[in-house]
Structure 1
């Protein structure tokens, strides 16, 4: 809030619920700035008949009414002085800021938008571009919430509390995009709150906040099964050819990821130097995952090797010094929707689905040990890989057929033994 917003001080009385008598009041100084309020206790345990609400004064029925009224005047004067000082400094002003100054609570003067700006600027060389982009999106939603719901451009960090967080959550859940984007899912809402929590944790470490406002707030993610292509869908995609070069290229990249498990950014950054001879005398991909900085070593399967050779002399790749021509992730995913439609695949095709397909359909369902899959995917721990260790329907069918055969063999052997005994 800025200093040109409305400012007022009034004195109000409310019932003293802790008092022994039902007709006892407590007097509060109410600070109002831009429609927002904060209150400070001024006089306690005042009989109802001792307070004149229209004049905001104690009357003679209160034994120390002169001293009481003098204190009320002092409080009004001090609060007004605090407001004026903050205005002259051009500082951020809110009812809570004025209250904190009055009661002697030190305040760094930092605001939420200032904190978000500081985080994004200080982390721009540390976070991946995609991750940083997500923080900017969270900041956009925070700004929208402040503007639309609080009618302000910014808010003091000291005003960020549990109530603010739950109200921001409600805003995100009810937000209706006016463009082509979908409404936020539960997990989408939680990701924004997770990023906001990381930012406020930074503020605590910097000494800008005394207490983490998320201390009593619990993020609640809904477990979602990661989609992947089945054997049949992957076969249809692999064998489909397109006359339109951009669609053929996008399809090839997707299939390449299905047989290597590499993410978009890691495929995007692949160079000839990443192709090495492995211990088996065959070519492997050796690279460092951009997300986790872990070294991954991937034996190149025939399908993936064929795609590498297909683009090795492409001028767009040669000029960039990469294995494949470059294409933005946004455009790639947009083209994948066209590819899916033309292949009759009803699932929402995204490039990251290729990694899920590699983990589930290409490796685990074909008997590759989960420890091996974890190493190839570049996961830092096995628990991350466990999300892919789903039991596929085809695997269930095959295992049950084997079980039927085992049971049948046992039944046949038992029958043979009974026949022999006779």
Structure 2
């Protein structure tokens, strides 16, 4: 029959599951590309009158003609629905055919409904188990997943049992070709989606793991940091526009303390402590991980805090520094880099790497102390931030001078 070349349709009965009147319900199973669904065809028959080989009622049975005609009509409806879906450029799946045939959707869990439920719970737990940035990241991932389903399947949502390895591969392709994401960004989005899949698997809503044979690996990226000379060039540069000058100050403060953008933006007076010797410290849990950062405030950073301590607009908000949005900060930082002749793509995160490498390690701060200051849970994470520079190698090799 036209339109059914790539679709397998099987009519069958379950002889071990009979109704009270001794009859068996007739089921239809639809298989496309090894995916399948089955449901009742709303017809019943005595098991002895059913032919498993011919997949229809035997000719000599009562109502054979009517039931067989109904089953043939079923096939014609499937062909008609497939032609319509092909015309609309909608990918045909067994589940979608079932929905169209029955005229309604089964109340089954869907990909986006599970994602929404996860995000709603995460938002309720924001500040307890989830950082604000993490919640926002999952909400962005939800939007990408929704857009992908519309783009790839021309539908608003998919049932969980339609989720397979091909979905994941197509999703990866979508990020790289349609959204033009780099490999590492794509991998991070897929890891977010994988958590939703794990929830479905753990609850028994999904039988097979579509990520089972897929391994994630981030490409090694050389982080951008500023040398001592470049840092000094930014510090000494005369900037006549107040807003640009403030951006420079915030960037330098992060270079001197190692604070991430989200943490300096939420820095408040209660995060500052002066010890018995008069030294100033910052004790603040990181927004991203809730790990405690223990930061000794050096004089250069202290002077920046003092510069803004009497600003009424900051006092009204209960914050210490005038931090713009990350997007605006990065835009101004590119201008500052150009003015200083720095040919590096610097951003707010460059400050954190600069602290670890130039400010800390090159001044002989032990890696364990750098890790504690950055609020890392282990040294391995800190090693991604701190680079062994030529200056550091030179400084340590000079200790060997005259020994050999």
TM over 0.5: yes
Question: Mean alpha-carbon deviation: is it higher for 145-154 or for 232-241?
Answer: 145-154
SS of residue in 2 equivalent to 1:287: strand
SS of residue in 1 equivalent to 2:293: strand
Deviations along 1:96-120, one digit per CA (max 9) or x if unpaired, are: 37779x9xxxx86111122222222
Deviations along 1:109-160, one digit per CA (max 9) or x if unpaired, are: 1111222222222211333333233223322332332222222222111111
Aligned to 2:173: 170
Deviations along 1:160-179, one digit per CA (max 9) or x if unpaired, are: 1112111211222212x5xx
Q: 1:75 to 1:249 in 2, by over 3 A?
A: farther
Aligned to 1:24: none
Aligned to 1:132: 135
> Looking at CA atoms only, which structure, 1 or 2, has the larger radius of gyration?
1
SS of residue in 2 equivalent to 1:273: helix
User: Are 2:263 and 2:286, in contact at CA under 8 Å, matched by a contact in 1?
Assistant: yes
State the Cα distance separating 1:398 from its structure 2 match. 3.4
Is 1:159 the counterpart of 2:162? The answer is yes
SS of residue in 1 equivalent to 2:281: strand
CA distance in 2, matches of 1:389, 1:136: 31
User: Are 2:282 and 2:295, in contact at CA under 8 Å, matched by a contact in 1?
Assistant: yes
User: Are 2:357 and 2:388, in contact at CA under 8 Å, matched by a contact in 1?
Assistant: no
Which residue of 207, 213, 218 corresponds with 1:216?
Answer: 213
CA distance in 2, matches of 1:262, 1:379: 12
State the Cα distance separating 1:12 from its structure 2 match. 6.8
Which residue of 339, 343, 352 corresponds with 2:340?
Answer: 343
Q: 1:38 to 1:291 in 2, by over 3 A?
A: closer
Q: 1:279 to 1:228 in 2, by over 3 A?
A: farther
In the superposition, the TM-score normalised over structure 2's length comes to 0.75
Is 1:122 the counterpart of 2:121? The answer is yes
SS of residue in 1 equivalent to 2:402: helix
Deviations along 1:26-58, one digit per CA (max 9) or x if unpaired, are: xxx78499xx995689xxxxxxxxxxxxxxxxx
User: Are 1:261 and 1:358, in contact at CA under 8 Å, matched by a contact in 2?
Assistant: yes
SS of residue in 1 equivalent to 2:136: helix
List aligned pairs for 1:15-414, cutoff 5 A: 31=30, 68-70=55-57, 73=68, 76=71, 95-96=94-95, 109-125=108-124, 126=126, 127-175=130-178, 177=179, 183-278=180-275, 280-407=277-404
User: Are 2:201 and 2:207, in contact at CA under 8 Å, matched by a contact in 1?
Assistant: yes
State the Cα distance separating 1:69 from its structure 2 match. 3.7
CA distance in 2, matches of 1:397, 1:66: 82
CA distance in 1, matches of 2:53, 2:279: 96
Question: Mean alpha-carbon deviation: is it higher for 203-212 or for 336-345?
Answer: 203-212
The structure 1 segments of at least 4 consecutive aligned residues displaced by more than 6 Å after TM superposition are: 8-14, 77-80, 97-100
SS of residue in 1 equivalent to 2:282: strand
State the Cα distance separating 1:10 from its structure 2 match. 8.2
CA distance in 1, matches of 2:8, 2:266: 68
CA distance in 2, matches of 1:40, 1:380: 47
CA distance in 1, matches of 2:114, 2:253: 41
Deviations along 1:62-96, one digit per CA (max 9) or x if unpaired, are: xx79954428949948978xx9xxxxxxxxx9513
Q: 1:336 to 1:303 in 2, by over 3 A?
A: same
Aligned residues: 343
State the Cα distance separating 1:326 from its structure 2 match. 4.1
In the superposition, the TM-score normalised over structure 1's length comes to 0.72
State the Cα distance separating 1:311 from its structure 2 match. 0.4
Q: 1:204 to 1:75 in 2, by over 3 A?
A: farther
Question: Mean alpha-carbon deviation: is it higher for 254-263 or for 117-126?
Answer: 117-126
CA distance in 2, matches of 1:32, 1:353: 53
Q: Which has the higher contact order (CA 8 A, sep 6+)?
A: 2
